Amino acid sequence: MSNIQNIKKRFPIFENRSDLVYLDSTATSLKPKIVIDKIREYYEKYSANVFRGIYPMSEIATTEFEETREVVSKFINANNAREIIFTRNTTESINLLAYSLGRKILEPSDEIVTTIMEHHSNFVPWQVLTNEIGATFKVIDINEDGILNLEFKIKNSELLKKIISKKTKILALTYISNVLGTINPVEEIIAEAKKINPKIIVIVDAAQAVPHLKIDVRKMGADFIVFSSHKMLGPTGVGVLWGKEKFLNEMYPFMYGGDMIDEVYVDRTTFKDTPHKFEAGTPAIGEVIALKEAIKFLEKVDMKNIRKHEKEITDFAIDRAIAKFGEEIKIFGPKNIDDRGGIISFSFGKFHPHDIAQILADSGICVRAGHHCAMPLHTRLKVPATVRASFYIYNDENDVEKLIEGLKKVKKILI
């Protein structure tokens, strides 16, 4: 990105923390002023509930809220805004699917397939569901480079045929691993899976992809994708579930209550059409409204520029780390920079990841240490935890150099 300093000036947090080195955008991104201002606008100018009032403030809030649905729909190239459901986060979106879709279609003879690199949110709900129903839970493994063992670049993959069968009801997989940074070729995987079983339903966890790559759900071929506002410069408390309308229309509501009701009688209740039948209760109104400003910001920067910048800075960070520390540092994930996002998870000598993160924090460097809500993956990697540095549009080479200096300090203190 040619002018990173101008980008950073759009984020007020850097004015208040001039020495901040924020390398934890995979957990949550920072917020530009345009997003913060939009939230303030809602609370200062038209702070009313949506859909319920006929007075002007409520009508403005409702219009702004529904405009976000349209903006999200166009951003991911959905067929229409009715396919966009607002939740609290990616986790709730997946649990909605496990409850409203999974419990409706799954039988004891069926299978659900996921991968070893999933976030717990796209692993545990399916594990629990198969245990409850008595169905089979399958997990796709990775190779030593952190890439799925599928031979997905070979058409008619024999490995995929051993995993996906006519009994497989759901394939749930991540687009980008939040630990390895692996970018899975979801379009190719989905196409091959649907050749094996045309009835399979594919759910893609795109929480780490939507903020960084241009997404086209029609081209992708998935039946559902899920992601979060707070990872794409938007506010916390807002998740998105996109699904093909034909499936959404057949699914049960996830929760019951205000606004998703059509009519209620003593002996029966009817519900509104999708998407509103899945949005019970008062939503995070100001936060949803501000999400559209985050999307406009990303579109103005351009998703291609974002991807180019992240590749450059990630490649630079890997080269600098290896140059300074050699075999002392082990970086997990694909060796080819084209196969990974702006995420570097690593171990450093015999130092504990939490000790590393604490010393870095003392220098104003924000990274994450732990298993990053991906314990099965860390078990597969044979490490209890890793340190994760993740990059976004407001990071530059100076941040990388400060990270390297911080790691030198770690070595000096802990050796």
What whole-number distance in Å separates Cα of residue 195 and Cα of residue 158? Answer: 12
| 373 belongs to the catalytic site | yes
Question: The tokens of 22 are what?
Answer: 């924020």
Name the active-site residue from 81, 301, 373, 375: 373
H-run or E-run covering 75: helix 56-75
Q: Tokens 């130092």 label which residue?
A: 351
CA angle 232, 237, 243 (to 5 degrees): 70
Q: Tokens 């903006």 label which residue?
A: 71
Taking the alpha carbons at both ends of the chain, their separation in whole angstroms is: 37
> Please, which residues have CB within 8 angstroms of residue 369's CB and are 6 or more apart in sequence?
353, 354, 356, 357, 385, 386, 387, 388
Look at the alpha carbons of 373, 374, 379, 381 in this order and tell me if their dihedral is positive or negative.
negative
Q: Is 5 left (phi over 0), alpha (psi -120 to 50) or beta?
A: alpha
CA angle 75, 246, 272 (to 5 degrees): 90
Question: The tokens of 272 are what?
Answer: 């509104």
Question: The tokens of 383 are what?
Answer: 């490490």
Backbone angles phi, psi at 392, to 5 degrees: -145, -165
| Residue 220: HSE in the Cβ half-sphere, 13 Å Cα cutoff | 29
What whole-number distance in Å separates Cα of residue 349 and Cα of residue 328? Answer: 5
Strand blocks (E) in 33-160: 84-87, 111-115, 136-140
What whole-number distance in Å separates Cα of residue 382 and Cα of residue 369? Answer: 16
Query: Do the beta carbons of residue 249 and residue 243 sit within 8 Å?
Result: no
- Please choose, from the candidates 236, 235, 187, 193, the residue with its C-alpha nearest in 3D space to the C-alpha of residue 209: 187
Active site residues: 373
